[in-house]
Structure 1
Amino acid sequence: MNKKVVCFGEIMLRLSTPGYQRFNQSSEFKATYGGGEANVAVSLANYGLQSDFVTRLPKNDLARACEMDLKKYGVSTDNIIYGGDRLGIYFLETGAVSRGSKVVYDRANSAVSQIEAGMIDWDQVFENATWFHWTGITPAISQGAADACLEAIKKANEKGITVSCDLNFRKNLWKYGKTAGEVMPELVAGTDIILGNEEDAAMVLGIHPDGLDVTSGHVTAEAYLSVSQKIMKEYPRCKKVITTLRGSINANHNSWAGVLYDGETLFKSNNTYQITHIVDRVGGGDSFMGGLIYGLLTYAGDDQKALNFAVAASCLKHTVFGDYNQVSVEEVEKLMDGDASGRVSR
């Protein structure tokens, strides 16, 4: 039976400068689409799962193009609702070596920011659903988006649907009068699978790890055990806490691994990948989440294999332009099995 995963959040028009050009150099932008939850939905569709993306879009040609783009990758848009005046936009300048990438948002008053509880028929959305995914970006957009997200989580809990969250703290988005610490705990309380790093845990949940100095340049997987244990103690519904381990040597070279804690065992990915020539790191965390959801659903009971799949999938995402991770299960499993040669397949 095909497993249906529902993702809810905002999708935006992405306008990026060509190559490594700076904003003030470029006379043109490359137009694609992306957003945390939509990126996860595309990953899952690529892996052959039934993937449903839910959002609110305006009735205009840009939004129509966006919806067609999602359909092209196999994502269901049947439960998108319409209203509002505009699609959010973000501008991307890709960094190189010691110059980091930059993002400028133009998403104020977007259609999904004006959503309200009661606008989406969650009973219909969750028909035959196995999994619901949200991120901390959505409740940061507006009170209405936070209310709609909480409504979805409660309905998913009622129906016995697994709920996952990427905490994704974005300080520049919390502008409507409430902090992440005021809004997020109630939503996290209804969540079964939590992805987040030590900064997310501190800024979103007020949970701080013991003896972890992330500025030291050397952070072991075991250092994250304390924060995972604290999250599970504070939020007893939570069954797994996962953290990506990114070492940023420079804008083009990152190390990449991950850890998963299930309440008893701290699993560390079998491989730590050296991504030496990054094409596009935007969406890296979303590709990890997509890989993790696929792994947990497909390799049921084998958390180690699910974690390994997520890390390999997100490693490959760094080689793909755009927000979406356009790779197949076969490509991910090939890397999992140790083939990182990148040889031509013919």
Structure 2
Amino acid sequence: MPDVASPKIPVTVLTGYLGAGKTTLLNRILSEPHGKKYAVVVNEFGEIGIDNDLVVGADEEVFEMNNGCICCTVRGDLIRIIDGLLRRKNDFDGIIIETTGLADPAPVAQTFFVDETVGAKTSLDAVVTVADAKWLKDRLKDAPEAKSQIAFADVILLNKTDLVTETELKDVEMRIRAINPFARIHRTQRSEIAIDKVLGQGAFDLDRIQAIDPDFLEGGHRHFHDEDMRSYSFSSDKPLDPDRFFPWIQDLTQTQGPNILRSKGILAFKDDPERFVFQGVHMILDGDHQRPWRADEPKLSRLVFIGRQLDAAALEKGFLSCVA
């Protein structure tokens, strides 16, 4: 059980392809009069890091990571920096990690599951992706990182909407939905958005899946596809057997892990009065009981996978074999 006296510090991962508007959004967050303090970890690709004065806000702590792209070499660095932050007195309200535009956000998200010290004191609040409305369509064709950034997102800022027509905007939103039907999309110009739509989302705790996708309770499975990246959702109104589910999901993520970008689930186990919530990044899974089932909500197990080259029929068969 978490210590009530010291709640976990929320971490927001801010990502998006080069030039989409991440730093503009970060500056907005740091300069708004919200009365909160954030520690910021900034990572730039290459030898020369971002100038500290580019990231505004005198009260903020900026930690620069410039020994390479955050997605390949610096997980150890990230753990060390966050560990250092956590050793201080709690003088900040959250941590924001801005990744380089060339980063796949997966290893950053995995950090919060891999390292016990970091995982015990922080919680991944949301992956926020800033996307360029004018150029995203092209980037989805030629930049796999851009596609991963969309697939991993809990919140997407579709930025620079003033540079495209409404028809183009709807087309790019359709492409985003094809890759990730569950993220919240906000249309923005110059990354202007209410901060409470970006921070404090609790998006990684899954409680909002139904709010994002009201049809989620309808059962069955649906998949949305965009070339190689697809998402699949499954549900069952029959309770699951944990002795079947856990071996199945662990085996699945070990064998298919590289192809599963994100997995999420809210599960109803037999003889269990509490909802079990889990989420995964590639092969790494994390889960816990969340809260008792409310009397007015159906005890429905829901599962989501976003990934490449997944066998929908096999996924569904495996999931349904876990029914008690």
Q: TM-score if structure 1 supplies the norm length?
A: 0.30
Structure number with the higher strand fraction is 2
Q: TM-score if structure 2 supplies the norm length?
A: 0.31
